[in-house]
Amino acid sequence: MITARRISYCTLASAIRFLLMNSEFQKIISERVEVSTALNSWKRVTEGVYLRTFGIDPYIGDLFHETPLGLWVFTFMHQCMSSWGLKCLFVITDLLTAWLLFATAKYYIIELAKREEENKKNTDDNEVSYTPIATIAKTSVLYVPAAYLFNPYIVLNCVAQTTTVFTNFLYAAILYSMIRRLRIVSCVLISLVTLQNLYPLSLIVPTIIYIVQDKKKAERVTSIIFMIILFSSVLSFMVYISYLINGSWSFLDNTIGFILVVPDLHPNIGLYWYFFTEMFEHFRWLFIASFQINVGILYIIPLAFRLRRDPMLLAFAYLSIIAIFKSYPSIGDVGFYMALLPLWQHLFQHMQQGFIVGCFMLFCTVFAPTVWHQWIYSRSANANFYFGVTLAFAIAQIFLLTDILFASIKRELALRHGLPKEIDGKKAKLILE
């Protein structure tokens, strides 16, 4: 039954993607600023491949921002695959990502249920209000791939054929290798995605925590040092391979430098473009440092200390922060971490902002193209209107992240001390005012 349901999911998801890819809407979707950015646009990839084919350095100018390793792979894809074959590749990659998320959810829910059974021994005898993980395990495991395959953000991301499709596949592979405690595979995958997008460097923290948490104290330090050295070595090796492929270090300015310095201020769903358009030039480096510290450094240590007992939730928090605050975000980044939400279905009853967040995200998703049309085509609006929508979208995501983290703390409190369902002898009710 479950297998038949999975097959039907994949068939329907593939059909939706192929229909949109072969419709007149494909070009419109691929040109949307919410979907394609300077970093993930397939049009830019194609132009970079043609420049390389004709012997021109694609990193001269401000056009191509993929790594030389990515350029080598994309060149091979263009030479060996037809247009139809490329479309199939994007759809298959999405299906593989969903399968990896399904496998990750299955192992993670099993571990959570086992940990909850062990923690029940320390629970007080008070009546508690929480949803046992074992009762929702099957639905959570199925909802994760469904939330990925049928998420409108992910569907549009695949239809536009952005390179975020492959980034999401790498993210899913990292989560799977982390839950399976595959040290070498995890380090290689994190190195690859770090070379491509820089910010996922933070994923090494939950990976290390997950792998060493079951080891003895004497072995933990050795394992941590080993993984840090392995990760650094693999990343350095990939950078050197990129240098050999390109023949120079010019790619650093248009990859890592492009992400850090943010020279391209075309509108997107992020916060950088409007802020730095309005910023006085002599303040630019100060605020670039502030923005980059916010997304890359500020939250790593505090969240690692607080969520060290649940590294998967920690990884989710890092992915959410990256999607919200990175310099060139797209809805494909947002869709990936949203697909992970069913993993914490047992936390939903402790969340308080779900309705507000849902309304905000729906409003922003519908209103952003409308305001864009008024600004660019009708000229009845300006950049302030569009930035207002992207700012509201970012705030909604922040509310979602903080709500689920607070829900985790509330449930932990319920498991340890019990949350009484009665107040002053009467049954408690939660009323939204």
User: pLDDT tens-digit profile of 84-113?
Assistant: 999 999 999 999 999 999 999 999 988 888
Domain ranges of the chain: 2-116+131-350
> Long-range contacts of range 69-74, CB-CB < 8 Å, 24 or more positions apart?
69/192, 69/195, 69/238, 69/241, 69/242, 69/245, 70/163, 70/196, 71/245, 71/246, 72/245, 74/45, 74/48, 74/49
**C-alpha neighbours within 13 Å on the C-beta side of residue 392:** 19
3-state SS assignment for residue 222: helix
Residue 5 has pLDDT above 90, yes or no: no
Average pLDDT over residues 381-388: 91
pLDDT, greater one: 204 or 433: 204
How big is the chain by its Cα radius of gyration, in Å? 23
What is the pLDDT at residue 255?
92
Average pLDDT over residues 254-261: 93
CA 89 to chain centre: 20
Residue 152 to residues 84, 273, 320, Cα–Cα distance (Å): 22, 24, 17
Average pLDDT over residues 391-417: 89
Each residue of 311-363: pLDDT tens digit?
A: 999 999 999 999 999 999 999 999 999 999 999 988 888 888 889 999 999 99
Average pLDDT over residues 163-169: 96
Phi–psi pair at 160, nearest 5 degrees: -75, -10
Residue 403 has pLDDT above 80, yes or no: yes
> What pTM does this model have?
0.93
What is the pLDDT at residue 427?
59
DSSP state of 128: -
What is the pLDDT at residue 432?
40
Residue 433 has pLDDT above 50, yes or no: no
What is the pLDDT at residue 431?
47
Max CA distance (Å), the chain = 80
What is the pLDDT at residue 214?
78
Instruction: Tell me which residue of 167, 145, 161, 51 sits closest to 98, measured CA to CA.
Output: 145
Each residue of 198-237: pLDDT tens digit?
A: 999 999 999 999 998 877 777 888 889 999 999 999 999 9
Measured from the Cβ of residue 51, the count of other Cβ atoms closer than 10 Å reads 18
What is the pLDDT at residue 120?
66
Q: What would the DSSP string read from start to end of 3-26?
A: HHHHHHHHHHHHHHHHHHHTSTHH
What is the pLDDT at residue 75?
92
Each residue of 31-57: pLDDT tens digit?
A: 999 999 999 999 999 999 999 988 888
